[in-house]
Amino acid sequence: MKHSHIADSAPLAIHGGVPSRPSPIAATVAISDHARARVMDLVETGALSDYYNGPWARQFEGEFARFHGPECRAVAVNSGTSALHLAITAAGIGPGDEVIVPALCFVAAATALVQNGAVPIICDAEPLNLTLDVAMAERLIGPKTKAIIPVHFWGYPSDAKALRVLCDRHGLTLIEDCAQALGAPAYDRRVGQFGHYATYAFSVRKHVACGEGGMVLCQDAATHEKLRRLSNYGKGPGWDDYVSAGFSYRLAEFPSIVGLDGLARLEEEIAARRRAAEHYWEIFQTVPVTIVPEPGWGRSVYFKCPILLPPEMLEVRRQIVKAIGAENVSCRVPHRPLYSISWLAEYLKERHAYRGADECPVAAAAHARLIEIETGPHLPLPEAQTSGGAVIKVLRHFGARLAAPGR
Ligand SMILES: Cc1ncc(COP(=O)(O)O)c(C=O)c1O
């Protein structure tokens, strides 16, 4: 068999067999010599931060914006959740405003909305590639709707072009959450170039990681100025010039150096993650699972590789995840759908805006079948082969067990 050097008939690590790899791969950040020297210079000077962001943060913002196109501008912040909150606030989203968000995503967008008293309206997924269902989003637009936040989950681009058309038609703001999809191609651009705002995160396992950090991307000078001000106490250009309420969301200089360094290697990182996923696509043809297909309008940058298990394996999904983990391969059940986060469900029920699994049947059915496996950070092909081999070993074990007579 071509897929792996690991015999898939070997006993599972969870049953006392030898794990597919001796220990898990740590989700660490690679730092070049060049960046190390910059960090050491910073240690010497001690100039670790500045109001309105310091010179390294400014350089990170400039290169990040340039990567996305000449018209783009960026403000660096201290996390992806801060980036979302900043964009939501800059867009004027406040108490009672409704914002359409996908059922399948990470909680941060909902958290940021709730901080402003806004109401996340949970929208189902598109059946083929599990991105935000644009037709349903359109049906959910009502008099209180202010914005749509597609989350490009697992690195798969949502149809941000269609969503922008929808937003323009209804006078809504489009905020793309690109935390898991930095650089993902969609139509003739990259994700983040369709929205009025796009937000990014540089926390653990991201395509660019710097410890903790985030970025907001926008397309014009006035919005950029507003984002800068809101990220820095609401201060205008003058020292004692408090124009509005604001936050303290600046990015420090150490993570800015590390982020810039990661940005320089971004294409390499995307290529490695795609190579890992392409390998999984190839070898998983021998087992009854499906990788979530890429949409016709773009390509995934595979933050993780989402895999749909066949119906007969659903009752052992948690055991499968545990068994793959025991092989020292990173594997999880994806983040729970937004409607099953209890504090959020309660918040929405109080506001008569709860939409649960019955209203999101595609997301509910898919989530019950999903597991996600590692594609990075910086996972070389031989390691991806080990991961893929371990997944096959575990799936074959559970497949055979389920097929065993007398079960
Ligand atoms: C899709 C998405 N949005 C937002 C965030 C929040 O980023 P941070 O952890 O930097 O606040 C994450 C973090 O993993 C994420 O995956």
176 Cβ inside 6 Å of ligand 1: no
Residue nearest to ligand 1 atom 8, measured at CA: 80
pLDDT at 407 over 60: no
Mean pLDDT of 296-300: 98
Residue 2's pLDDT band (cuts 50, 70, 90) = very low
Residues 167 and 150 in one domain: yes
pLDDT at residue number 403: 72
- Helix boundaries (H) for 301-350: 317-326, 342-350
The answer to whether the beta carbons of residues 71 and 223 sit under 8 Å apart is no
pLDDT at residue number 402: 74
pLDDT digits (tens, 9 = 90+) for 339-349: 999 999 999 99
What the block records as the tokens of 153 is: 């989950």
Report the C-alpha gap between 366 and 50 in whole angstroms. Answer: 46
pTM comes to 0.96
Q: Which atom of ligand 1 is nearest to the CA of 206?
A: 14
Of the three residues 211, 231, 264, the one that is the final residue of a domain is 264
Nearest CA-CA partner of 79 in 223, 207, 255, 236: 255
Overall size of the chain counted in residues: 407
* Beta-bridge partner residues of 373: 305, 331
Report the C-alpha gap between 85 and 95 in whole angstroms. Answer: 14
pLDDT at 4 over 90: no
Q: Is residue 224 part of a domain?
A: yes
pLDDT digits (tens, 9 = 90+) for 218-265: 999 999 999 999 999 999 988 899 999 999 999 999 999 999 999 999
The answer to whether the beta carbons of residues 300 and 157 sit under 8 Å apart is yes
Q: Is residue 146 part of a domain?
A: yes
pLDDT at residue number 400: 77
Residues 165 and 70 in one domain: yes
Residues 180 and 146 in one domain: yes
Least confident of 153-157, 234-238, 300-304: 234-238
Residues 289 and 152 in one domain: no
pLDDT digits (tens, 9 = 90+) for 22-61: 999 999 999 999 999 999 999 999 999 999 999 999 999 9
pLDDT digits (tens, 9 = 90+) for 334-388: 999 999 999 999 999 999 999 999 999 999 999 999 999 999 999 999 999 999 9
Mean pLDDT of the chain: 96
Report the C-alpha gap between 155 and 149 in whole angstroms. Answer: 15
Report the C-alpha gap between 150 and 380 in whole angstroms. Answer: 30
3-state SS class at 106 = coil
Residues 169 and 318 in one domain: no
- Its domain, for residue 166, covers 33-264
Q: What's the gap in Å between 401 CA and the centre of ligand 1?
A: 38
305 Cβ inside 6 Å of ligand 1: no
Q: Is residue 66 part of a domain?
A: yes
Report the C-alpha gap between 244 and 113 in whole angstroms. Answer: 19
The answer to whether the beta carbons of residues 54 and 42 sit under 8 Å apart is no
Residues 276 and 229 in one domain: no
Question: Tell me, what CATH number does 43's domain have?
Answer: 3.40.640.10
Q: pLDDT higher for 400 or 153? A: 153
Question: Tell me, what CATH number does 326's domain have?
Answer: 3.90.1150.10
Q: Is residue 1 part of a domain?
A: no
251 Cβ inside 6 Å of ligand 1: no
Ligand 1 pocket: which of 82, 85, 177 to mutate (most atoms <8 Å of CB)? 177
Q: Is residue 3 part of a domain?
A: no
108 Cβ inside 6 Å of ligand 1: yes
Q: Is residue 179 part of a domain?
A: yes
What the block records as the tokens of 82 is: 């801060």
Nearest CA-CA partner of 61 in 218, 197, 238: 218
Does residue 337 have a cis peptide bond before it, meaning omega lies within 30 degrees of 0? no
Q: What's the gap in Å between 29 CA and the centre of ligand 1?
A: 17
pLDDT digits (tens, 9 = 90+) for 193-211: 999 999 999 999 999 999 9
pLDDT at residue number 70: 95
CA atoms within 13 A on the CB side of 166: 25
Q: What's the gap in Å between 80 CA and the centre of ligand 1?
A: 5
Residues 18 and 146 in one domain: no
Q: What are phi and psi of 201, to 5 degrees?
A: -130, 145
Q: What's the gap in Å between 329 CA and the centre of ligand 1?
A: 22
Residue 82's pLDDT band (cuts 50, 70, 90) = very high
pLDDT at residue number 7: 59
pLDDT at residue number 404: 67
Q: What's the gap in Å between 117 CA and the centre of ligand 1?
A: 20
Report the C-alpha gap between 114 and 109 in whole angstroms. Answer: 9
pLDDT at residue number 3: 43
The answer to whether the beta carbons of residues 250 and 51 sit under 8 Å apart is yes
Report the C-alpha gap between 62 and 153 in whole angstroms. Answer: 25
Q: Is residue 176 part of a domain?
A: yes
Residues 278 and 206 in one domain: no
Of all residues in the chain, what percent carry a pLDDT higher than 70? Answer: 97
Q: How many domains does the chain have?
A: 2
Of the three residues 264, 284, 303, the one that is the final residue of a domain is 264
Residues 159 and 270 in one domain: no
Separation of first and last alpha carbons in the chain:
29
Residues 207 and 281 in one domain: no
Residues 100 and 120 in one domain: yes
249 Cβ inside 6 Å of ligand 1: no
Residues 250 and 279 in one domain: no
81 Cβ inside 6 Å of ligand 1: yes
Q: Is 211 exposed, middle or buried (0-12, 13-18, 19+ CB in 10 A)?
A: middle
Of the three residues 264, 279, 300, the one that is the final residue of a domain is 264
